[in-house]
Amino acid sequence: MVNNSFRLMKTCPNSRARAGQLVTGHGKVATPLFLPVATQATVKTLTPEELENIGIDMVLVNTYHLYLRPGISVIETMGGLHKFMGWDGAILSDSGGYQLFSLAHLSRVGDDGILFRSHIDGSRHHITPELAIKFQEALGADIIMVLDECPPSDAGLVRVVAAVKRTHRWAERCQKAQRRGDQALYAIVQGGIFPELRRQSAAHLSSLGFPGYAIGGLSLGETKEVTLNMVEETVAFLPQDRPRYLMGVGSPEDIVAAVARGIDIFDSALPTRVARNGALFTLRGRVNIKNAAYSRREGPVDPECSCYTCRNFSAAYLNHLFKSEELLAYRLATIHNLSFISRLMQDIRSAILSDGFSSFAECFLSAYETTNEAVRLHQKQRWLRSRNQENKHQENKL
């Protein structure tokens, strides 16, 4: 097999759930697959060795952030991303389109590319599809992404149509700009919450013959029902023999539901972000380790978990670390949440290969208590507002 190929190994008879294998220049990676977010060439609080011990085979880095700091040329001079961050596994690099969407007050989108001001020092930059490819080729990730325009979830039809057309033009420009043959370039389907646009985008990009396809512009504030409906509309128009990547989705229940609809790859900062806030995954749902109920609990936070954290530390100790704001709290919580997600992906794959995924999904979802939808949306909007306020505060200091 050549590097960056995909082999579909099994599809469940009663769902669209699939098991496959990505072949990259840094190893074979089983799918379904979850990518922890290493935005600035690090998964917050963890070492590469810890990630490997957890069972992580691939991570995601962000070109926008690395372009600003330390700079593409620095990483290239240091021998590329893998050597720079001491990671021997596979890497996927995001082009930065989503980050420029989230920093909309600092950017302006035009047909040629995106003009933006750095949220760090206010310096002006212009990113084109060609530059996005040039930067990612210099970084040396195994899978790279086209530059796309990601409209907000509440954008109207006219704006989303324009974003889809621009995304398609940029995808073609990225495809023409690619020079390295050892990196797989994935296209990104857009279309907001409009089913017909999702179908059109998926069909058009599929006709261009990319080695993989991502679904972008979801999980931005719409309901979970809408997200999953858009996934279904999109997957139906993507080729069977290419990997499908749902960007920005990382809650356990959403992963299971999306696998059932034919998704192979996921990424999200959610498992590590909520871990640093004391929210830990269990088979019964998230628990807040900072609650007083855990201050005297002798056993681990999850008796069914065999991760390093649960094997060695009590829930009471974790509660103490968080209340004392000790740095170890964030490390142990992150190890636990990523271990949970890694084990979940392994269990999903095993269920698919044994034709038992439908039963597995039903059992998992019936036992897993999800966050109330209204509360989830409120938390999401509060996080987005907090991040935007932080960015604006930084902007005002420039």
CA–CA separation, 245 and 218 (whole Å): 12
Active site (annotated) includes residue 267: yes
Q: Does 32 sit behind a cis peptide bond, omega within 30 degrees of 0 on the bond before it?
A: yes
Out of 142, 148, 267, 302, pick the active-site residue: 267
- The amino acid present at 80, given as its one-letter code, is G
Beta carbons of 24 and 90 less than 8 angstroms apart: yes
Q: Distance between CA atoms of 349 and 29, rounded to whole angstroms?
A: 12
DSSP string, 240-281: TTS-EEETT---HHHHHHHHTTT--EEEESHHHHHHHTTEEE
| Structural contact between residues 255 and 357, judged by C-beta atoms closer than 8 angstroms | no
CB 3 within 8 Å of CB 14: no
Residues in CB range of 247: below 8 A, 6 or more apart: 94, 98, 188, 214, 215, 216, 218, 267
CB 33 within 8 A of CB 58: yes
If we measure between CA atoms, which residue out of 48, 50, 1 comes closest to residue 29?
Answer: 1
Active site residue 94: yes
Tokens linked to 300: 């681990």
Residues 94, 102 contacting (CB under 8 angstroms): no
Annotate 332-362 with DSSP letters as a single string.
HHHHHHHHHHHHHHHHHHHHHHTT-HHHHHH
d(CA 156, CA 24): 39
Report the relative pairing of strands 244-246 and 124-127 from DSSP bridges: unpaired
Options 94, 148, 264, 302, the catalytic residue? 94
SS3 171: helix
Residues catalogued as catalytic: 94, 267
